[in-house]
Structure 1
């Protein structure tokens, strides 16, 4: 019988198969590297010090599946499926590893059902008052820093302007800037976590996520991320909420995008937009696998219609397939950006996003709907 390894032994075992670096303090520490199964770069995650033993996961070959345990890793190692990277029979061993996990290489690609079921209807509440107080204090500092232009340095707003955002939008959205990494005492944010040294506030652009007039979440778009897969950092203690959810109104059209900057670009382009006498409800950012709590599903479902404008790439298409499946029979359609995302369309291509969205709305309202209202308006 295989037993759980100690955290250090498991980390050492994995480290013999792929180079790892620590990227977070989650669950006693999280390490990242190339996947020793599929070879996906920076998609592999290891948490060796969990209460129930170590665990590992890969965004590529285990996407949509739960974390696997250290026991699973040892089993695959003992079966010869996880050798060192220079093993001469590497490709065949990879196929065997997928088979052991109940997959094939082909099955790991997008399918009609490619993402997990929605989260159960658990409580969905804002952070405690002490956290909100500390977060608002930091946000106030960050907003001041965004508008503090130095004589010898470029304005910190330059990057945001390059992403297509105007000063008016930055002020309205209370976007801030943190010039250097900071750590703040956990207790001042109402948090207790023996695995964390404090609340980490990396250098970057500070984005507040509001709902019902309260601050639910802070995220920071890092200026110099160590891992390209972790450009955005969610500040400890934040609650899960779609960015811009307060803009949604029942019975009006709504758009779901991936990132908050894309949501702001779209909101900025639309303004007080109306089409055929109907104002556009709003634009909310949900990432590719977030925003699936029951409370948010209800709010999305009340939009008529709901457009899914996640990125035009594999992850965005997978997320869109999920929403089209979840809201089957509802007024929901794929609004696929061309190219990639709303920000790219505006900044790199110089497109009139307002007119582009208007065209898609016109197609919806003037088309003869089939018995199933699910359409692709890409």
Structure 2
């Protein structure tokens, strides 16, 4: 019986998941990406078609069998139930939609007319300070942020807060004029009041005259429980009077003055997380939506000057669609989704080293150097958070970045006494034949670097892949 292409994936140990009536998502047989390989079973006259968005592996069911099982062309045709033909035309990718470019806009974006700015900013500054004190004294919300990599030090630094509501209610209600907002009326003619819902308070604070911090935006991430009861689609609430420019957290070192390296996320909390972990390496930008269309002229010009833009929009369809606008507008932009989960917060919770992930995305020629020309290694601790293991040396970080693109394993063989008696690198020969340059470069670096072998020797596992390569044991085995 002819095999459906999704059956071929399952037989290969992969697990396709249905996305729509005609499209499936699966781990990639080539690069190992968890869900970035798309499958269209009905295309190519029933032979099916697959394409990995990460490594660009693609083909029909016949190509899959030839590349990943070593079948001959005739046997592969028989397996999928077609008659072998000469000069079979290679299938083409489904047409991709081309996104439009960003538009640079002068002035503040989305700012409400008729706002008394001094009054609004005074109220916003007091509200943010009040909310910060509530947050640090609310263990449940502090724990929620800590799970996303934002600890008490980060809360204070970025002036995050928590609005608990008041008088037993899950919101605060105030007259609009108290915040300097112009009056509005409801349909029944009664004055509309300002609603400040319960949730995590995320301010945008820019440096004003005299070096003081000026609040330009207050955004509240509502609690999931509150959304279930009222306005479920309103996950984030922006306090009226706020500006809607993207959040830009500048690099903290003079080595990144000017354009430098920029990483773009959707969520402000994700941008804060990355800035907290790697603000000495990159500028961090939060677009707040994947479908952003306009940028302030100041931000637009800074992005044009950037040496590299790592676009880490959410790993979903909206993020993929939003990437097209970045790709068309900024030639130095490249798609750089997190290796696990949908966004940096999920990747952190899954145990990913986000600093190393960012460094892997920076082109080798733009890696951080000191004025003396010496590489600037990663610090052994992030403010208030000590590492339990040494920082991986440059060769180890480079091999880790290369390993993520190569389906290769390292095996350590032990005798009965637990002593190492040999090692071996294993990989699929068919795949390697089509990616010889990658495999050769990887093995040459692994072979010549003492730092890599030292790191491998301290790995507690006997079967090592890209997923556990960076694991490190403080105790070196007696025999290696």
Q: Is the 8 A contact 1:118 1:293 kept in 2?
A: no
Whole-angstrom CA distance in 2 between matches of 1:245 and 1:350: 24
* Aligned pairs (5 A) from 1:70-219: 111-114=96-99, 117-119=101-103, 121-124=105-108, 128-149=117-138, 154-180=139-165, 181-195=171-185, 197-212=192-207, 213-219=213-219
Whole-angstrom CA distance in 1 between matches of 2:364 and 2:338: 15
How many pairs align? 245
Whole-angstrom CA distance in 1 between matches of 2:277 and 2:316: 23
Please list every run of 5 or more consecutive structure 1 residues that lacks an aligned counterpart in the other structure: 1-108, 273-279, 367-376
Whole-angstrom CA distance in 1 between matches of 2:152 and 2:238: 24
Q: What residue number does 1:79 align with?
A: none
Q: Is the 8 A contact 2:203 2:215 kept in 1?
A: yes
2:240 is the counterpart of 1:236: yes
The DSSP-based 3-state class of the residue aligned with 1:145 is helix
Whole-angstrom CA distance in 1 between matches of 2:172 and 2:155: 23
- Superposed displacement of residue 202, structure 1: 0.3
- Superposed displacement of residue 294, structure 1: 2.7
Whole-angstrom CA distance in 2 between matches of 1:200 and 1:319: 31
The superposition leaves residues 131-155 of structure 1 with CA deviations (integer Å, 9 ceiling, x where unpaired) of 1001111111111111224xxxx44
- Superposed displacement of residue 167, structure 1: 1.0
The DSSP-based 3-state class of the residue aligned with 1:241 is coil
Q: Structure 1 length as normaliser, TM-score? A: 0.59
Equivalent position to 2:308, from 305, 310, 317: 305
- Superposed displacement of residue 114, structure 1: 3.8
Bigger drift between 222-231 and 171-180 goes to 222-231
- Superposed displacement of residue 245, structure 1: 4.3
Q: Is the 8 A contact 2:102 2:325 kept in 1?
A: no
Q: Is the 8 A contact 1:289 1:319 kept in 2?
A: yes
Q: Is the 8 A contact 1:132 1:215 kept in 2?
A: yes
Q: What residue number does 2:347 align with?
A: 345
Q: What residue number does 1:316 align with?
A: 319
Q: Structure 2 length as normaliser, TM-score? A: 0.47
- Superposed displacement of residue 211, structure 1: 2.5
Please list every run of 5 or more consecutive structure 2 residues that lacks an aligned counterpart in the other structure: 1-93, 166-170, 187-191, 208-212, 368-403, 406-480
Q: What residue number does 2:10 align with?
A: none
The DSSP-based 3-state class of the residue aligned with 2:247 is coil
Q: Is the 8 A contact 2:274 2:354 kept in 1?
A: yes
The root-mean-square deviation of aligned C-alpha atoms, in Å, is 2.6
Whole-angstrom CA distance in 1 between matches of 2:164 and 2:242: 21
Whole-angstrom CA distance in 1 between matches of 2:125 and 2:150: 22
The superposition leaves residues 252-306 of structure 1 with CA deviations (integer Å, 9 ceiling, x where unpaired) of 111111001111111122143xxxxxxx231110021336233321122221111
Whole-angstrom CA distance in 2 between matches of 1:249 and 1:365: 13
In our comparison, the structure showing a higher alpha carbon Rg is 2
